[in-house]
Amino acid sequence: MRVRLPSIQSATGTAVIAVTAAFVLYPVFYLLQASLDTGDPEARPPTAYGLDNFAALPRYWEIMLNTLLVAFGATVMALVFGFLTAWILNRTNVPFRRTLEQAMAIPYYVTPLLGALAWSLLGAPESGFVNQIWRAIGGQDAILDIISPLGIAWVMALFEGSVAFVMIGAVMQSMDPSLEEASQISGANRFYTMLKITLPLVTPGVLGAAIFVFAEMLGSFSAALVLGTPVRFYVITTAIYQLTAQYPPRIPLAAALGVSLFAVMFLMLFFYRRIISRRSYVTVSGKAFRPRLTDVGALRWVLFGICAVYVLLSVVLPVLTLVYASIQHLAVAFPAAANFTLDNYRAALSQNAVRFAMSNSLILGVATATIGVALTGMLSWLIHRSRIPGRGLLEYTVMFPQAVPRLVFAFGMMWAWLVFPIPIYGTLWLLLIAYLTVFLPLGVRTISSVLLQLDKSLEECGEVCGATWAYRMRTITMPLLRPGLLAAWMLLFIASVRELGASILLTGPHSQVLTPAIVSAWFGSSSELTAAMALIQTVVLGLAVALFTLITRRAARQGG
């Protein structure tokens, strides 16, 4: 059935599209302009145009290949971890489910630099704690070498890929278990059911997560910086970083490198749209269901073991390593009384960046998540539920910021908002706009995955009964979308607080945020101080997320 756009809907839709276009296409224009700039790279607007920057790209084929290989490896690992753990925690009666669920989300609170740093401290061939202990007990050379392409993919999958768990988990929470039960009643075993029923039903969620995670990996910076540079292994982001940080900066070439990733991203989005358009993934229809967990018997302890190992590798071991490193003058595996100190925490807490930037980060996190959920919720609805012309184009537009590493996209945003007549440059408002822009894909992917599971007929029933569009949204769509909306809020909040790429260039003197300060400590001070600062950020973020979880659970209980 064709959904007509009444006036309020039309007005809201038009406003959302206009805002999205302004947020995304305005900086993209400047980015494209820079990639075609062949004149004085520091002159604005460009003094000459040409394709020289793109012609130079084949020289970087090795770096591009490195990027694709690492991103692909990390995405596969992240999806396997994400799907398996999301299935275990959302669909089975695994013990300590809630505790594991909380622990599984921790890697996502952590600044990716922290994960890379922790694993570098653990697994560097010479100084890694694991290797030091190995040699102390008589082993030869190194038992673990994290300073390698595989190490980069591993760390990226653990810390940046943990978003896959949240995205796929949100889809699984909205799934009617009767389909799985029907399969089992028909004689299929649990794993056959998981593969043949659960997996196909969560395909949009998994594909959405795959696209998002792959793009995230293409733009990943910290793991490649910490674990790749020592072995002369570069990816696009580390190459771009060098090109923009050196003097004279080669921003047009960096822009061309970034823009070239559009092609990869849009190809993936094209296949995603093809797959989801072929069949229906509706699991939430007019028929009532209560999410039930599958009793897996004694196997639940094996599944618990899988989750526990994941939590050990992604949370416990890295966090303990960093705590241990942060209380030493010089981080080494074997304790020595003279080496212990609290100076790193003292130094971290005495920095203005930690004291004041944290509050800016939290304010921006709440604002980005709240406005972002409303904006991306509307966008998801427009893309998947409305019949507005060009809605496919809208989905491609939304993915632009994800396709380009933020280190480069930030230049587009800087040029764009510098010349904007309303003076927001250098203020928190600019960071808010920047965060809303770069996290549009995250919000849309998360909410869309859940929206695709909702049967359109639910809204249509409301319409037939005479409910207005706003009333239907409030009483039918929004409550059904609740898991997706909450997941999106949480993801946007966390992603904003730990954002780095855009913040480095766009912070003003009175709008500083924390993550750039942490990275600056890594570059300028020591890994021990960096560990202390990043742990402080993680604890504050963890407390904020716990508070949010508490409030939403209480609200859910009160709401019945």
* C-alpha to C-alpha distance for 179 and 196, rounded to whole angstroms: 11
- Tell me how far, at minimum, the Cβ of 142 lies from another protein, in Å: 11
* 88 to 101, 124, 159, 295, 379: CA distances (angstroms): 10, 32, 19, 11, 31
Amino acid at 263: A
* C-alpha to C-alpha distance for 398 and 417, rounded to whole angstroms: 19
Among 68, 144, 308, 332, binds another protein (CB under 8 A): 332
Structure tokens at 111: 């600044």
Q: Which is nearer to another protein, 165 or 415 (CB)?
A: 415
* C-alpha to C-alpha distance for 215 and 327, rounded to whole angstroms: 36
3-state helix, strand, coil in the chain (%, to 5): 75, 0, 25
- Tell me how far, at minimum, the Cβ of 226 lies from another protein, in Å: 9
Q: For residue 284, what is the DSSP state? A: B
Cα 96 → chain centroid: 26
Regarding 411 and contact with another protein (CB under 8 A), the answer is yes
Regarding 421 and contact with another protein (CB under 8 A), the answer is no
Among 81, 83, 212, 522, binds another protein (CB under 8 A): 522
Task: Name the residue with tokens 């050196």.
Answer: 246
Structure tokens at 207: 């594909």
In 3D space, the residue among 158, 169, 277, 143 whose CA is nearest the CA of residue 223 turns out to be: 158
Regarding 43 and contact with another protein (CB under 8 A), the answer is yes
Peptide bond into 248 cis (omega under 30): yes
Q: Which residues, other chains included, contact 124 with Cβ-Cβ below 8 Å and sequence gap of 6+?
A: 131, 146, 147
- Tell me how far, at minimum, the Cβ of 42 lies from another protein, in Å: 5
Q: Which is nearer to another protein, 10 or 526 (CB)?
A: 526
- Tell me how far, at minimum, the Cβ of 517 lies from another protein, in Å: 4
Regarding 198 and contact with another protein (CB under 8 A), the answer is no
- Tell me how far, at minimum, the Cβ of 205 lies from another protein, in Å: 37
Regarding 509 and contact with another protein (CB under 8 A), the answer is yes
- Tell me how far, at minimum, the Cβ of 496 lies from another protein, in Å: 19
In 3D space, the residue among 115, 101, 82, 116 whose CA is nearest the CA of residue 209 turns out to be: 82
* C-alpha to C-alpha distance for 207 and 83, rounded to whole angstroms: 11
- Tell me how far, at minimum, the Cβ of 111 lies from another protein, in Å: 14
Binding range to another protein, per CB under 8 A, among 215-223, 262-270, 366-374, 510-518: 510-518
Rg (the chain; Cα; Å): 24
Among 508, 550, 551, 554, binds another protein (CB under 8 A): 508
Among 88, 104, 114, 124, binds another protein (CB under 8 A): 124
Regarding 505 and contact with another protein (CB under 8 A), the answer is yes
The burial class, CB within 10 Å (0-12 / 13-18 / 19+), for 4 is exposed
Residue numbers 333-352 binding another protein by CB under 8 A: 338-339, 347, 351-352
Regarding 295 and contact with another protein (CB under 8 A), the answer is no
Q: Is 511 helix (H, G, I), strand (E, B) or coil?
A: coil
Among 44, 273, 385, 482, binds another protein (CB under 8 A): 44
Regarding 504 and contact with another protein (CB under 8 A), the answer is yes
Site string for another protein, 431-450 (x = CB under 8 A): --------------------
Regarding 230 and contact with another protein (CB under 8 A), the answer is yes
Binding range to another protein, per CB under 8 A, among 183-191, 210-218, 226-234, 489-497: 226-234
Which H helix or E strand runs over 303?
helix 299-311
Task: Name the residue with tokens 């408002």.
Answer: 429
- Tell me how far, at minimum, the Cβ of 442 lies from another protein, in Å: 25
- Residues near another protein (CB under 8 A) are 42-44, 59-60, 63, 124-127, 229-234, 239, 242, 244-249, 251, 329-332, 338-339, 347, 351-353, 411, 414-415, 418-419, 425-426, 504-505, 507-510, 516-517, 520-527
